[in-house]
Amino acid sequence: MSDDKAESQLEPRGRRLIAPAIGAVLVGAITIGLASVGADDPVGSAAAVLQILIQSGALAGAWMLGALGIGASLGRLVLGGSERDAALDAAIGVSVMLFLAHALGAIGLLGGTSGTVISWVPVLGGCVVLALRMRTIGRPEIASRLAQMPTAMLVAAPALGVLAVACCVPPGTLWASEARGFDVLSYHLQLPSEWLAGARIQGLEHNVYSFLPSYVEAAYMQLGAMAGGGALGAGEGVAAQASQLLHAMLAILAAVQVGQLIACLLPGRDRVTTEAPASWFGAGAMLLTPWVLVTASLAYNEMAVLVCFAGALRACHLSGASAVRRGAIIGWLTGIACASKLSAAYMVAPSVAIAALMWSDRRDWMRVAIGAALAGTLALLPWFARNVVDAGNPVFPFLTGILGDGHWTDLEAERWSRGHHSSAGVGQRIGWLLSGRGLLHAQWALFPALVVGAALVAGLSRVTRRTAIALLAMIAVQIAAWLAIGHQQSRFLLPVVVPGALLIGIAGASAGERAPRRIVAGAGAILAIAIATIALATYASQNTGRPGIGLVGGVALINGSALDSTDLGSLPAPQLRELLEQAGPMGASRLLARADPEFVLYLLGDSTPFYFAGRPIYHTTWDTSPLGAALRATEGDLEAALGTLRDRGVTHILVNTSELHRLIAVDNWYDPGVTLGVIRDLIERPSGVICRWQGPSGMDTFLIELSR
C-alpha cells in the first residue's frame, strides 16, 4: 500500500476522532462545573470527585471489565458463528457475573479474608479473557471502532457529567424524589454489609427485603469483599461509592445496547452499526431522561434490569442461532432481570414475549418458548432454593397465604400486602398514570412526548410501521401491568425507556429518509439541547441548589470516622452532649461506640442503619418491632419492656418521632404494639434523654440512654 493511500485512509479516521475528543472535553468540563454547583469549596469538591472516580471507579471498572470478558467468551461459546455483537455479549457477561456473585455469596464464599481472594477470581479471569480478546481484534480495529462514534453521541456528554458527579456524592444525601436514597440506606447497601458480617447471603428476619432475589445487591457485596470486606459504609465508603458507580456503568451499557439495537432494527441494515446518528440520539435521549440519571447514580438495581431487557430484545432479533439457543439466551436474560428486580416479571417479561413472537418465525415459537422457560427457571433457581431454606416459601414474602408465611404472623403479611398493592379503582389508577405519580412526573421530562411523536412518525412509514407496532405493544403491556400490579409509583415505569428509546431511534431514521437531512439534524440538536438542559437543571436544583454538599468530607464525615481523633475521655458531660449534638445521630453513634465497647443502639422508627455504629438493632416497617414484641410479652408495661431490651444488650435508643408519626398515624404500616402514646411515654420518662436533634418537620429525634 502506498503512503498516499495510507494517509487517505487515516485522514477520515482522524476526522472521526474529533467527536470523541470533543465529547471527552465536554464531559470533563460538565463534571467540574457540576461538582462546583453550590459548593462552599469548589476546588475541594472537584478534587473529591476526581479521587472517588479513581479510587472507587477502579473497583467498579474492574468488575465491569470482568463481566465484559466473561460475556465475550460465553457469547462465542453459546451462539457460535451466528449474528451477535459486543453489546449482547456484554449483557450475557453482566448477567453471568450477577449470577456468580449471588452464588458465591449464598454459599458463604465472600466472607472473611478468603472472601476477598475469591471475590476477585471471576473478575480477574474475565479481565484476562477480555485482554486476550482485544489482542485478537487488534489495535487498528479497536481504534477504528472508537473513532466511529458519531457526533450525535455528544448528546450523552451532560448525562455522563451528571452521573460522574452524582455517583461521588455520599449515598443518602442526593435526590429528593428518592427520599435521598432511603432504600439504599435501608437495604440496597445495608444488606450487603450485613451479609458480609454474617459471611453469607441469607434471609434476615428484621429486614424482609433480604428475602428478595437481590442479585444486584450480591454484586455490591462482591465489591465490598473486593475492597477487603467490612461494612460498605465504614471509613471512606470506597465500596459504597463503587456500588453507585457500577450502577451508573450499567446505565451507560444499557444505552449503548439500545443504540446498537436501534441500528439493528433500521430497515436495510443487516449488521449492527455505530454509524446511524438516529440510533445514538435514541440512546442519548434515554440516558438523559432524569429518571434514568437519578436511579443510575444510586446503588439501586434498575439498570441491571435495563441491561438484561435490552439484551433479551437483541436476542429476539438474532439470526443464525437455533431456536432453542435463541430462546435460552432470551429466557436467561429475562430471568436475571427478574432476579435483579422482581417487578421485571410484569414490566419486562411480557414485552420480551411480544418481541419473541413478532421477531421469530412462527415455526420456531415452541422451541424458543421451551429454551426460554428452562433458562429462565435456571436463572431464578438459586433464589427459590435459598428462600425454601430460610423461609419455607420459595417466593417469600409473596404468596404467603398459599406457600407459607415464613417467620411472619398473618398481621405482618397483611401489612406487607396492603403496603405494596393498591385498592384504588381503575379510574383512579388511570388518573395516577396521567399525573405526577405516573408519566407526568417532572423526572420523565420530555420523554413521554418524544415517544408519542416518535410513534406517529414511525407509524406513517411502511418500512418502520411493523417495528413501531411491536414497540408500542410492549409499552402498552407495560403500562397495563403498572396499572394492575404493585403500588403505582412513577419510578416503576422505568423499563418503558427501552422500547420508548428504540421507538425514538427508528422514528428519527424514518424522518431522515423523508425530510431534508439538515432539518432533521437541526430538530434533533434542538431536542438534544432541551433534554440536556432539563437533566442538568434537575441535578442543580437538589438540596436547594447545593446538590454536592456532601462531596467535601464525604462518607467519613457522615459516619463519624472523621471524628476518630477526638479525645472523649476528658470531656465533661455538658461538652460531651454538645459534641454529640454537633456530630448528628450517626456521628454520635460513632463517638459513643468508641467510648463504650458494649454500646448497642436500637433504632426506633428509623430503618436506615447504614452509617450507624454500635451494632445497630433495627427492622423494616413490615417486620416485628423489638419494642412491640417486648410490650406484648410484658402486657404493655413500658419499663418491663425496656428491661427486655436491656437484656438483649441495648444501651441506647434513637427515637425518630417524624418517621414514627408517618408510619403509625399516616400510613398505618407499623407494628401495632408501638403507638404514639408509647413513644410519648418513652420520651417523657424522668431520665434517659441525653441528646436531641431538631427535625425539619418540627418533630425531633431523641437519643435515650437505658440505665443498667
Least confident of 305-319, 377-391, 559-573, 653-667: 559-573
Q: What is the DSSP letter of 204?
A: B
What is the DSSP code (8-state) at residue 707? P
Compute the mean pLDDT over every residue in the chain, rounded to the nearest whole number: 90
The mean per-residue pLDDT over the stretch 278-307 comes to 94
The strand order across the sheet containing 601-604 reads: 601-604, 652-656, 701-705, 689-693
Q: What is the pLDDT of residues 631-680, one digit of tens each?
A: 999 999 999 999 999 999 999 999 999 999 999 999 899 999 999 999 99
**pLDDT tens string 152-175:** 567 788 999 999 999 999 999 999
DSSP 471-531: HHHHHHHHHHHHHHSTT--GGGGGGGHHHHHHHHHHHHHHHHHHS-HHHHHHHHHHHHHHH
User: Structure pTM?
Assistant: 0.94
pLDDT in tens, 550-604: 999 999 999 988 888 777 666 777 787 888 888 899 999 999 998 888 999 999 9
Name the residue among 636, 701, 622 with its Cα closest to residue 667.
622
Pairing of strands 652-656, 701-705: antiparallel
pLDDT for 1: 44
Contact 625, 664 (CB under 8 A): no
419: confidence class by pLDDT, cuts 50, 70, 90: confident
Across 189-209, average pLDDT: 96
| E-state strands within 628-670 | 652-656
Residue 191 is classified by DSSP as H
Q: What is the mean pLDDT of residues 140-145?
A: 54
- Rounded to a whole number of angstroms, the CA Rg of the chain reads 26
Evaluate whether 378 touches 422 at the Cβ level (below 8 Å). no
pLDDT exceeds cutoff 70 at 142: no
